[in-house]
Structure 1
Amino acid sequence: MSRAEAVAVAPADGSRPAGRRPQTASGFLALFRNELHLTFRRMRTLVLLAILAALPILIGVVIKVNTDGPHGDGGGPSFIAQTTQNGMFLVFTALAVALPIFLPMTVGVVAGDSVAGEAATGTLRYLLVAPAGRTRLLAAKFTAGLAFCLAATAAVALSALATGAALFPLGKVTLLSGDTIGLGEALPRALLVAAVVALSLAGLVAIGLFVSTLTGSGIAAMAATVVLVITVQILDSFPQLDAIRPFLFTHYWLSFADLLRQPVYWDGVLKNLALQAGYVAVFGSAAWARFSSRDISA
């Protein structure tokens, strides 16, 4: 379905033809599929995913070269030291490296451009001809943003798993708590870690979507979202701001490491997911309030 055809999802006056059932669910799915197609067909999105997939390869090669060299001792941070013994840990190492910088920057670009980019190209006014469809359109854009989070995290995790298997031995995994689990149990745990990392970016998607409704420039919205991520992470590094740090959306991002313990420490993970849900509720509502009253002639 083209962008122009998406307008036909809901009548312009909010009514529906007699004898037809409401098309809320089907209309949303149509918009969602269209947003997925729009997001993942862009060369920029494919390049971002390729960069994310290349990151674990670079990390794996660097670790391999250093540990094989005359001075390689397998030392370093816990994830990196574990990687030299088991390639599975390259998944966790790559996610730990990508989450603070690379993943949020790519998500910020996609989320920030979601509304502002279409406003800049002039296609948004055609989608907003039907006021009854604005909420569904915004929900479709947010859901497509979450889908990109999953795709971006999967690109890192799958590339890391393949690279780790190629460069390092695979076998029983020694967790951060010192317990050992088999490879069959480690794979579902790695999947759970990747899912938590992807959901950790949900708050950023909502923030980027809100910023995107404030401007008609896609570049400005992307830049503002990325700068906001960097600023918040800088603030989160100051111990003098302990009173507000637990409320920053980046604060619990690395809590996924608690999933690599036996038993699993759920406290930080649940706080992270609850915090992301709060940001989604607040900034999602703000985005809806702004978007639902936006002047379609702009």
Structure 2
Amino acid sequence: MSQVETVPQAPRLRGAPGFLGSEIRLTFRRWRTVAMLAVLAAVPVLVGVAVRIQTSDGGAAGGPAFLSQITNNGLFLVFASLAAVLPFFLPMTVGVVAGDSVAGEAGSGTLRYLLVAPAGRTRLLAVKFAATVVFCFAATAVVLLAALVTGVLLFPVGDVTLLSGTTVPFAEGLLRALAVAAAVALSLVGFAALGLFVSTLTGSGIAAMATTVGLLMTVQILGTVPQLSSVHPYLFPHHWLSFADLLRDPVYWDGLLRNFGLQAVYAVVFGSAAWARFTTRDITA
């Protein structure tokens, strides 16, 4: 009796919306993703508890921006937490997801089965990038929700005094917190495109993730070197903290628009580079 050879079954290809939904579910089902989101959620809790303990002993909540205002209004824990995770922890999680997006499929041997449909490479790359952008918003939302719940439980809430000195109702302050979270998520789009490009250069997910995170650290270091001040405005993290301008009355749009424009340039440049690399790449495994 002849033996039947088994081969890996190609994934069922769907339309673009179904394909994107499947990719998003796959991203958030990974234990690595769940663990990173849990760490992000823990940061606001730890910051809130630390401030609560310090102030209960009669100390003053000094320190980084927004931290001293948490005891007066728990909503400021949202802003303090986003300011704390944005320089490294939040983009690091995005770098891991973006770096693994294509390289992880290549390393596991499933990439060629995803490319059986005509024009599959362009669609697959677009879906991978879209799923990474969704993760940017989801990760930011996790920090927002964790900080908001912790702030409400541990500190008083009420009217919000903005950085310009204007006092607004809590409802408007909450809307501004949502706008801040959206601005933070959009700030990560350029870095997500950079990670996607790196992911198309190798067949090792670990190598792509390490390289993407390494680039993040390198650029952050370059941003602190005074001798490179002329280059700083062109580095993707340079305007990340411009979200604070949403807490002024009126809102200062210059820094925000420069930030969004810079992220768009990075997304176009590295997205195009990723497409050029991926559409000409020899997929043999």
| Same topology, TM > 0.5 | yes
The residue that corresponds to 2:254 in the other structure is: 267
Superposed displacement of residue 5, structure 1:
3.1
Deviating runs (4+, > 6 A) in structure 1? Answer: none
Q: 1:189 aligns with which of 171, 176, 180?
A: 176
Q: Retained in 2: the 8 A contact 1:131–1:292?
A: no
Counterpart-to-counterpart distance in 1, 2:110 and 2:159: 53
Question: How far does the alpha carbon of each residue in 1:242-297 deviate from its partner, in whole angstroms, 9 at most, with x for none?
Answer: 11110000100000011111111010001000000000000000000011111121
Q: 2:11 aligns with which of 5, 18, 31?
A: 5
Counterpart-to-counterpart distance in 2, 1:231 and 1:57: 29
Q: Does 1:241 align with 2:228?
A: yes
1:28-43 superposed matches below 5 A: 28-43=16-31
Q: Retained in 2: the 8 A contact 1:128–1:296?
A: no
Counterpart-to-counterpart distance in 2, 1:77 and 1:123: 46
Superposed displacement of residue 131, structure 1:
4.5
The residue that corresponds to 2:107 in the other structure is: 120
Match for 1:112: what amino acid? G
Superposed displacement of residue 75, structure 1:
2.7
Match for 1:35: what amino acid? E
Counterpart-to-counterpart distance in 1, 2:41 and 2:10: 34
Overall identity of the aligned pairs, in %: 65
The residue that corresponds to 2:63 in the other structure is: 76
Q: Retained in 1: the 8 A contact 2:11–2:113?
A: no
Q: Retained in 2: the 8 A contact 1:56–1:160?
A: yes
Aligned CA RMSD, in angstroms, stands at: 1.4
Question: How far does the alpha carbon of each residue in 1:137-174 deviate from its partner, in whole angstroms, 9 at most, with x for none?
Answer: 10000000000001100000000000000000000111
Q: Retained in 1: the 8 A contact 2:37–2:142?
A: yes
Q: 1:255 aligns with which of 242, 255, 278?
A: 242
Q: Please, what TM-score do these two structures have when normalized by structure 2?
A: 0.95
Q: Does 1:175 align with 2:162?
A: yes
Counterpart-to-counterpart distance in 1, 2:62 and 2:31: 39
Query: Per the alignment, in what secondary structure is the counterpart of residue 254 of structure 1?
Result: helix
Question: How far does the alpha carbon of each residue in 1:172-214 deviate from its partner, in whole angstroms, 9 at most, with x for none?
Answer: 1111111111101111100000000000000011000000000
Query: Per the alignment, in what secondary structure is the counterpart of residue 187 of structure 1?
Result: helix
Q: 2:150 aligns with which of 128, 148, 163?
A: 163
Query: Per the alignment, in what secondary structure is the counterpart of residue 281 of structure 2?
Result: coil
Q: Which moved more, 1:280-289 or 1:175-184?
A: 175-184
Query: Per the alignment, in what secondary structure is the counterpart of residue 251 of structure 2?
Result: coil
Q: 2:80 aligns with which of 89, 93, 99?
A: 93
Unaligned stretches of 5+ in structure 1? 10-26
Match for 1:61: what amino acid? V
Q: 1:56 aligns with which of 26, 44, 48?
A: 44
The residue that corresponds to 1:289 in the other structure is: 276
Counterpart-to-counterpart distance in 2, 1:79 and 1:197: 16
Unaligned stretches of 5+ in structure 2? 1-8
Match for 1:259: what amino acid? L
Q: Retained in 1: the 8 A contact 2:184–2:240?
A: yes
The residue that corresponds to 2:214 in the other structure is: 227
Counterpart-to-counterpart distance in 2, 1:76 and 1:192: 24
Superposed displacement of residue 73, structure 1:
2.0
Question: How far does the alpha carbon of each residue in 1:4-30 deviate from its partner, in whole angstroms, 9 at most, with x for none?
Answer: 334x45xxxxxxxxxxxxxxxxx2212
Q: 1:198 aligns with which of 165, 185, 208?
A: 185
- CA shift in 2, pair 1:281/1:138, >3 Å: same
Counterpart-to-counterpart distance in 2, 1:92 and 1:168: 14
Match for 1:94: what amino acid? S
Q: Does 1:148 align with 2:135?
A: yes
Q: Please, what TM-score do these two structures have when normalized by structure 1?
A: 0.91
